[in-house]
């Protein structure tokens, strides 16, 4: 498939990887509709960053239902609908649950996820952005979101490692893995065009893009 033929593209990566910026740019280029997480709508998120053990479950469940509701429109689209570009992948949702939940709370989450996940559409393509923990931490601290600055670099390192393990085994959709360590899709037209060229030249179900390749 060429890039323009994809009907549903998901951009994924740990916090600070640049997925929302890329989702907006890609949707704009393709004349599509961005499907973006709305963290400001989650009433538990700021408290989660201050006390993860206490607020992990309601934060996780709120995002699970928010993501599922956004994907319902994709599941119902016809052949003439605009491409959708999401800055999340529902299949990855349990990754955060496994990091932040345990015991009965994890079991409750898993039951709800198992009921919802089979009804969600699969993307035609996943673009997985990754970067080192130090880079992620610098990007997070440079954003204007005060409560995110409470994230420790150790937590970001565990998150980045969990993403790497997840996408090493993920085979539900084609994946373009992108090292975003030295890429800036917000400010650099060259970086964005390089990525588009790599995606357009992709053959098979898995490809990798590192600057200098």
> 114-123, pLDDT tens digit by residue?
999 988 889 9
Residue corresponding to tokens 């699969």: 122
- Tell me, yes or no, if 87 is annotated catalytic: yes
| Residue 144: pLDDT over 70 | no
Q: Is the pLDDT of residue 78 over 70?
A: no
pLDDT-derived band at 52 (thresholds 50, 70, 90) equals confident
Confidence of residue 203 (pLDDT cuts 50, 70, 90): confident
Between 207 and 72, the higher pLDDT residue: 207
* Helix-helix angle 52-75:93-100, to 10 degrees: 170
Verdict on whether the full-model pTM lies above 0.85: yes
Give the pLDDT score at 25: 95
The reported pLDDT for the residue numbered 43 is: 96
CATH of 3-209, one of 3.40.800.10, 3.50.50.60, 3.40.50.300, 3.90.1200.10: 3.40.50.300
Which member of 40, 51, 87, 93 is catalytic?
87
Sheet with 125-130, edge to edge strand ranges: 33-35, 84-86, 8-12, 125-130, 175-179, 206-209
Mean pLDDT of the chain: 89
Q: In this structure, are strands 206-209 and 84-86 parallel, antiparallel, or unpaired? A: unpaired
Question: Do residues 136 and 14 lie in contact, with contact meaning Cβ atoms separated by under 8 Å?
Answer: yes
Residue (of 29, 35, 34) closest to 193 by Cα position? 29
């Amino acid at each position: 498939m060429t890039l323009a033929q994809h009907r549903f593209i998901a951009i994924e990566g740990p916090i600070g990887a640049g997925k929302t910026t890329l989702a907006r740019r890609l949707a704009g280029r393709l004349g599509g509709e961005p499907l973006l997480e709305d963290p400001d709508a989650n009433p538990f998120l700021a408290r989660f960053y201050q006390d993860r053990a206490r607020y992990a479950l309601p934060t996780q469940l709120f995002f699970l239902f928010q993501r599922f509701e956004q994907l319902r429109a994709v599941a119902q689209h016809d052949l003439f609908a605009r491409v959708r570009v999401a800055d999340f992948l529902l299949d990855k949702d349990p990754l955060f649950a496994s990091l932040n939940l345990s015991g009965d709370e994890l079991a409750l989450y898993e039951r709800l996820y198992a009921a919802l996940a089979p009804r969600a559409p699969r993307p035609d393509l996943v673009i997985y952005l990754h970067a080192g923990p130090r880079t992620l931490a610098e990007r997070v601290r440079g954003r204007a979101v005060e409560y995110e600055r409470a994230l420790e670099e150790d937590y970001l390192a565990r998150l980045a490692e969990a993403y790497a393990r997840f996408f090493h085994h993920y085979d539900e959709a084609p994946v373009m893995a992108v090292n975003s360590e030295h890429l800036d899709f917000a400010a650099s037209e060259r970086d964005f065009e390089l990525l588009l060229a790599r995606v357009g030249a992709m053959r098979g179900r898995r490809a990798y893009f590192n600057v200098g390749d």
